[in-house]
Chains A and B, each alone.
Chain A
């Protein structure tokens, strides 16, 4: 079982590597006795809801020709959603994708989306690992904000 320090370090690296931004801290600050697992709940909710968007975008990218407006709109939603958990790299990729959309660059969109999916999946794994450790450390630990 990871120590508190190790868990804190895990989280810190997520920030350092730009996987997460300040929003994540906001979520942690919302965690309280009434919602001791608030952050994890939110992340779970995000991945559940956004997977729908991801597959929509995926389908839209298979069309020929691409409907850039629609793609842009979908990605806008996805970006908004990703901002909710502070998924920094994912958000950056969203922005890039939208730029490709506006430029009508189909290849760019597809490439960008592949990268986005990678970031999306990586973050998920890392967060899952983090939450698992935090939970194992005990609810008290999980609820504590690490500085």
Chain B
């Protein structure tokens, strides 16, 4: 392969079209490769969706079109489709042996520019270049269209911002087609030779998208226009066209998300099995992520509390009330966070959701995973093996409550083991504390490591918990006397360090210590799902769809959706 990933041969379009074929069936890969080569295309093949995304990201301008099978083992083909469309803005053709109308429709909805049925004929492949060509023309036109409304008052700003020197004004509109004369590489050869257009493919990195969404939120979602976004983003090399097409996708994405959430929230309380099928859940892969984070955060917030347990003797009266207060307060914070703040700052709300999951709020048996382990350990330690699980939960939480009351919850990077020993030490000094309670807390803490993993498969518990949160929070809000904010800050600070450690992600999936921190950062830094691709396989995809509906209920959708954007 020559420098074939730079730019295709200009003169011979569509020959040299750079095609990426994604299919897990080795037989088909071989056939498609041969067919495409016969069309004089440049073919790259891969057998995994993730591999494909890596390839696409590595060579940002290295492909013209992607052809992918709908049923990939590691990722739903529709999800891949979305990723590619949003990140790389490449035309994607879907393939399947299944030609059911609903599937085809889904493909189109997710942005496929074509849907081919297997067995695929060579003549169908011969013409795929049209999708590349069409897209380029369309984008150029779209660009013009946007200029139509905003050209007037934005022209001044435009010239300041655009590095490419796009000076737009209404007078210039007719001269759009003369842009070839301008020194612009991205629209210059649009109409002439699309294959040769060195249209800088904007890869919407996490950072970039974060800026984008920030700008959108600042402007107000219903008032956005590409020019204003571009101004706010202050990314010199980004063009209005890039922003425009990205905005278009973002809008589509959000509207679809909102629609799905509306449907889901209207059927709240559904069990995970009732939740939408995998592929829409793909949208909520991020939700899965956030839920897990939430779980992990709470878990770890408990674990890492370095507050001694001594004072609990006087705190026996602290029970559900305060616990709920914690929960509600945190939830309120979460809502505030979701409704307005810039991502990356508010983390405490997530802690709260987990408090609730531990606490008396847990309504159903979905916490089975969580429940089971606690009793087993308690029984080994506790002097009252018959103590009901709930009480143990409460007692554990009670301990934490008091820790909240007395000092800020430090979220340190203390290992679970460290905390355990700490707890043990404090156990000795507090004989008045019911030993079972302490035992519960001590024993349960190490279990959280397992819980984290188990939460991956029992995120439904969060869903069910969240159900109850909204109803209880109001009445309990007054009781909040806790120092949540400091914990939030600590946690937020911790996450900063991991925000950009994106490459880490799949490997660290089960790394307890870093895991939730990293995830936290991910969530609030608009993880695009690049690295979340692995997430769905760790989560039961349907589980968090329910949660997502609640998040949407209570929060301003735009902010939440930022995190969900590419998930």
Mark A residues whose CB is within 8 Å of B.
Answer: 21-23, 26-27, 29-30, 32, 35, 38, 41-42, 45-46, 49-50, 73, 76-77, 79-81, 83-86
- Report yes or no: B30 in contact with A76, Cβ–Cβ below 8 A: no
- Report yes or no: B119 in contact with A45, Cβ–Cβ below 8 A: no
Of the listed residues B25, B69, B96, the one surrounded by the most CB atoms of chain A closer than 10 A to its CB is B25
Q: Does B235 belong to the interface (CB within 8 Å)?
A: no
Q: Taking the nearest CB of chain A, how far is it from the CB of B44, in angstroms? A: 18
* Separation of A83 and B69 alpha carbons in the complex (Å): 14
Residues of A within 8 Å of B27, CB to CB, are: 42, 45-46, 49-50, 81, 84-85
Between-chain CB contacts (< 8 Å), 10 pairs: A26-B119, A29-B122, A30-B38, A38-B34, A42-B30, A45-B27, A76-B71, A80-B28, A80-B69, A80-B118
Residues of A within 8 Å of B98, CB to CB, are: 76
Residues of A within 8 Å of B35, CB to CB, are: 30
Q: Knowing A77-B71, A80-B71 touch, does A35 contact B28 (C-beta < 8 A)?
A: no
| Chain B, 86-125, CB within 8 A of any chain A CB | 96-98, 118-119, 121-122
Contact-size category for B: 10 to 19
* Separation of A60 and B34 alpha carbons in the complex (Å): 34
Q: Which of B26, B118, B122 contacts A83 (CB 8 A)?
A: B118
Q: Does B425 belong to the interface (CB within 8 Å)?
A: no
* Separation of A35 and B30 alpha carbons in the complex (Å): 11
Closest chain B residue, CB of each to CB of A21: B119
- Report yes or no: B25 in contact with A81, Cβ–Cβ below 8 A: yes
- Report yes or no: A27 in contact with B97, Cβ–Cβ below 8 A: no
Q: Does B31 belong to the interface (CB within 8 Å)?
A: yes
Q: Taking the nearest CB of chain B, how far is it from the CB of A27, in angstroms? A: 7
| Chain B, 511-536, CB within 8 A of any chain A CB | none
* Separation of A86 and B97 alpha carbons in the complex (Å): 12
Mark B residues whose CB is within 8 Å of A.
Answer: 25-28, 30-31, 34-35, 38, 69, 71, 96-98, 118-119, 121-122
* Separation of A32 and B98 alpha carbons in the complex (Å): 30
- Report yes or no: A26 in contact with B26, Cβ–Cβ below 8 A: no
Q: Give the number of A-B contacts (CB < 8 Å).
A: 56
Residues of A within 8 Å of B31, CB to CB, are: 27, 30, 42, 84
Residues of A within 8 Å of B34, CB to CB, are: 30, 35, 38
Residues of B within 8 Å of A21, CB to CB, are: 119
* Separation of A120 and B480 alpha carbons in the complex (Å): 69
- Report yes or no: B119 in contact with A49, Cβ–Cβ below 8 A: no
Of the listed residues A26, A27, A80, A85, the one surrounded by the most CB atoms of chain B closer than 10 A to its CB is A80
- Report yes or no: B122 in contact with A23, Cβ–Cβ below 8 A: no
Q: Taking the nearest CB of chain B, how far is it from the CB of A41, in angstroms? A: 7
- Report yes or no: A81 in contact with B122, Cβ–Cβ below 8 A: no
- Report yes or no: A80 in contact with B25, Cβ–Cβ below 8 A: yes
* Separation of A146 and B478 alpha carbons in the complex (Å): 85
Residues of B within 8 Å of A22, CB to CB, are: 119
Of the listed residues A27, A42, A79, A84, the one surrounded by the most CB atoms of chain B closer than 10 A to its CB is A84
Q: Which of B96, B97, B122 contacts A26 (CB 8 A)?
A: B122
Residues of B within 8 Å of A73, CB to CB, are: 71
Residues of A within 8 Å of B26, CB to CB, are: 45, 49
Residues of A within 8 Å of B96, CB to CB, are: 80
- Report yes or no: B97 in contact with A79, Cβ–Cβ below 8 A: yes
Q: Taking the nearest CB of chain A, how far is it from the CB of B126, in angstroms? A: 13
- Report yes or no: A80 in contact with B30, Cβ–Cβ below 8 A: no
Residues of B within 8 Å of A35, CB to CB, are: 34
Residues of B within 8 Å of A81, CB to CB, are: 25, 27-28
- Report yes or no: B121 in contact with A26, Cβ–Cβ below 8 A: yes
* Separation of A79 and B117 alpha carbons in the complex (Å): 12
Going nearest first, the 8 A-B pairs with the smallest beta carbon separation are A80-B97, A23-B119, A84-B27, A83-B119, A46-B27, A83-B118, A30-B34, A45-B27
Closest chain B residue, CB of each to CB of A31: B34
* Separation of A29 and B35 alpha carbons in the complex (Å): 10
Residues of B within 8 Å of A38, CB to CB, are: 34
Residues of A within 8 Å of B69, CB to CB, are: 80
Q: Taking the nearest CB of chain A, how far is it from the CB of B509, in angstroms? A: 25
Q: Taking the nearest CB of chain B, how far is it from the CB of A97, in angstroms? A: 13
Of the listed residues A21, A22, A26, A86, the one surrounded by the most CB atoms of chain B closer than 10 A to its CB is A26
User: 7 more A-B contacts (CB under 8 A) besides A30-B122, A84-B119?
Assistant: A26-B122, A41-B30, A77-B25, A80-B25, A83-B97, A84-B28, A86-B119
Q: Taking the nearest CB of chain A, how far is it from the CB of B371, in angstroms? A: 27
Closest chain B residue, CB of each to CB of A32: B38
Residues of A within 8 Å of B25, CB to CB, are: 49, 77, 80-81, 84
Residues of B within 8 Å of A23, CB to CB, are: 119
Closest chain B residue, CB of each to CB of A98: B98
Closest chain A residue, CB of each to CB of B23: A80
* Separation of A10 and B418 alpha carbons in the complex (Å): 76
* Separation of A81 and B121 alpha carbons in the complex (Å): 15
Closest chain A residue, CB of each to CB of B34: A30
Residues of A within 8 Å of B38, CB to CB, are: 30, 32
* Separation of A42 and B98 alpha carbons in the complex (Å): 21
Residues of B within 8 Å of A84, CB to CB, are: 25, 27-28, 31, 118-119
Residues of B within 8 Å of A41, CB to CB, are: 30
Closest chain A residue, CB of each to CB of B97: A80
* Separation of A35 and B121 alpha carbons in the complex (Å): 18
Q: Taking the nearest CB of chain A, how far is it from the CB of B385, in angstroms? A: 37
Of the listed residues B30, B34, B69, B119, the one surrounded by the most CB atoms of chain A closer than 10 A to its CB is B119
Residues of A within 8 Å of B97, CB to CB, are: 76, 79-80, 83
* Separation of A42 and B118 alpha carbons in the complex (Å): 15
Residues of B within 8 Å of A42, CB to CB, are: 27, 30-31
Closest chain B residue, CB of each to CB of A84: B27
* Separation of A27 and B35 alpha carbons in the complex (Å): 9
Closest chain A residue, CB of each to CB of B96: A80
Q: Taking the nearest CB of chain A, how far is it from the CB of B104, in angstroms? A: 15
Closest chain A residue, CB of each to CB of B117: A83
* Separation of A86 and B28 alpha carbons in the complex (Å): 12
* Separation of A30 and B32 alpha carbons in the complex (Å): 10
* Separation of A17 and B110 alpha carbons in the complex (Å): 40
Closest chain A residue, CB of each to CB of B122: A26
Closest chain A residue, CB of each to CB of B123: A26
Closest chain A residue, CB of each to CB of B32: A84
Q: Taking the nearest CB of chain A, how far is it from the CB of B298, in angstroms? A: 33
* Separation of A73 and B119 alpha carbons in the complex (Å): 18
* Separation of A32 and B38 alpha carbons in the complex (Å): 10
Closest chain B residue, CB of each to CB of A23: B119
* Separation of A147 and B346 alpha carbons in the complex (Å): 71
Q: Taking the nearest CB of chain B, how far is it from the CB of A98, in angstroms? A: 9
Q: Taking the nearest CB of chain A, how far is it from the CB of B171, in angstroms? A: 55
* Separation of A119 and B119 alpha carbons in the complex (Å): 19
